[in-house]
């Protein structure tokens, strides 16, 4: 509206819609993203706005219309003289591929190989290559693109470090590591290093994008699965330290007036889970203190989960009255006297 009101050229109006659409996609405002990319298509006839519109539609569950647009890109721009359009064709083919061995995925790999031969340092080309490797581990053994890092985790970490303004690079690494953590028993030393790097990266992502729901969800899920894997391996002390660390990170963010409900919900869920564990272990004093903390934090949370959280806190039940109000040292002393 501002661009039009100032009679700026169409290119500026188009640029404004591109920025609005990108921001809307990142924050989950998919209807707004759809509107912005439809407006963008009025000024640009290349593949990019079509792909972006298709992505916004797919996020809203409009799969049929999204598929038609992706096919349009794959059919119209595969032989384009512009590298940008051929890259958008790669993205469209990957969106259309139904399986790891699909014809569309094979075509996408071939086109991407040519693009990377011409421009091996292009971050988006490298990102799509990493996505292909992560989605199909067989490519790691069978087909590699010369001169490009063949390990998806290493490549994604390199991209995330070099381009902190692009959260999708780090998020892709988080998703890859979540898959690997399903098979945590098979982790080797290099996997452990990759995991540690990814955990650290997820925390940096949260620091930079504290209101991005995908970043919040990815960081919390990664930490939770990592903690669960440590517990399964019998590393309970280590798991407790990591749980404390996650809770500390979320607590720092909790009282920021601009922080999203998603961050607050992540902290409260984590604390409710811990409350159950404390009660199960009979640690009444710590449980009572945690109940007070949760109750206090619910006073600063006004999101849609408030009633559910209050009910869960109520279900946890009151702690052992004989322990409430006593210091932890006095409880330890009493238990020692009783031979506990």
**Residues with Cβ within 8 Å of residue 163, at least 6 apart in sequence:** 123, 169
Fold of the CATH domain 1-76: 1.25.40
Q: What share of the chain is helix, strand, coil (3-state, %, to 5)?
A: 75, 0, 25
Predicted confidence band of residue 213 (pLDDT cuts 50, 70, 90): confident
Provide the pLDDT for residue 126: 95
Provide the pLDDT for residue 124: 95
Provide the pLDDT for residue 339: 45
What pLDDT, in 10s, does the model give residues 34-51? 999 999 999 899 999 999
Is 21 in a helix, a strand, or coil?
helix
Positive or negative: CA dihedral 313, 316, 318, 319: negative
**Nearest-angstrom CA–CA distance, 293 and 140:** 48
Closest CA to 246 of 289, 200, 301, 291: 200
Average pLDDT of the residues in 249-257:
82
**Nearest-angstrom CA–CA distance, 278 and 283:** 5
pLDDT(338) > 50:
no
Closest CA to 52 of 32, 33, 78: 33
**Nearest-angstrom CA–CA distance, 65 and 254:** 40
Cα–chain center distance at 39: 28
- Is 32 or 7 the better-scoring residue by pLDDT? 32
| Residue 175, token pair as written in the block | 């998703």
**Planar angle of CA 124, 70, 45, nearest 5 degrees:** 80
pLDDT(319) > 60:
no
pLDDT(331) > 50:
no
What pLDDT, in 10s, does the model give residues 276-300? 888 888 888 888 888 999 999 999 8
**Nearest-angstrom CA–CA distance, 208 and 215:** 10
Burial 22-45 (b: 16+ CB within 10 A, else e): eebbbbebbebbbbbbbbbbebbe
Burial 171-209 (b: 16+ CB within 10 A, else e): bbbbbbbbebbeebeeeeeebeebbebbbebbbebbeeb
What pLDDT, in 10s, does the model give residues 85-125? 999 999 999 999 877 778 998 899 899 999 999 999 999 99
What pLDDT, in 10s, does the model give residues 117-161? 999 999 999 999 998 888 765 655 566 777 888 889 999 999 999
**Residues with Cβ within 8 Å of residue 83, at least 6 apart in sequence:** 115, 118, 119
CA atoms within 13 A on the CB side of 17: 21
The domain spans of the chain are 1-76, 266-271+285-319+328-340
């Amino acid at each position: 509206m501002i661009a039009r009101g100032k009679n700026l050229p169409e290119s500026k109006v188009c640029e404004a819609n591109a920025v609005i659409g990108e921001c809307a996609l990142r924050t989950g405002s998919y209807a707004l993203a759809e509107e912005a990319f439809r407006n963008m298509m009025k000024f640009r006839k290349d593949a990019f706005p079509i792909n972006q519109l298709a992505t916004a539609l797919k996020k809203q569950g409009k799969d049929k219309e999204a598929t038609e647009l992706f096919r349009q890109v794959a059919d119209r721009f595969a032989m384009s003289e512009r590298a940008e359009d051929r890259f958008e064709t790669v993205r469209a083919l990957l969106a259309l591929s139904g399986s790891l061995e699909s014809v569309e995925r094979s075509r996408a790999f071939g086109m991407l190989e040519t693009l990377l031969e011409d421009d091996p340092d292009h971050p988006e080309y490298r990102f799509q290559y990493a996505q292909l490797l992560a989605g199909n581990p067989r490519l790691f053994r069978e087909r590699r693109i010369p001169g490009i890092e063949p390990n998806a985790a290493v490549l994604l970490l390199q991209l995330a470090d070099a381009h902190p303004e692009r959260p999708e690079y780090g998020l892709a690494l988080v998703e890859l590591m979540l898959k690997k953590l399903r098979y945590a028993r098979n982790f080797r030393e290099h996997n452990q290093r990759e995991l540690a790097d990814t955990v650290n990266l997820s925390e940096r992502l949260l620091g930079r994008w504290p209101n991005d729901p995908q970043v919040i969800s990815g960081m919390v899920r990664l930490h939770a699965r990592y903690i669960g894997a440590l517990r399964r391996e019998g590393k309970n002390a280590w798991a407790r330290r990591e749980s404390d660390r996650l809770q500390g990170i979320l607590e720092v963010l909790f009282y920021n007036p601009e922080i999203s409900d998603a961050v607050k919900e992540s902290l409260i869920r984590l604390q409710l889970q811990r409350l159950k564990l404390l009660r199960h272990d009979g640690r009444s004093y710590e449980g009572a203190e945690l109940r007070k903390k949760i109750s206090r934090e619910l006073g600063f949370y006004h999101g849609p989960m408030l009633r559910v959280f209050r009910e869960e806190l109520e279900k946890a039940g009151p702690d052992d009255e004989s322990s409430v109000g006593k210091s932890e040292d006095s409880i330890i002393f009493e238990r020692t006297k009783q031979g506990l």
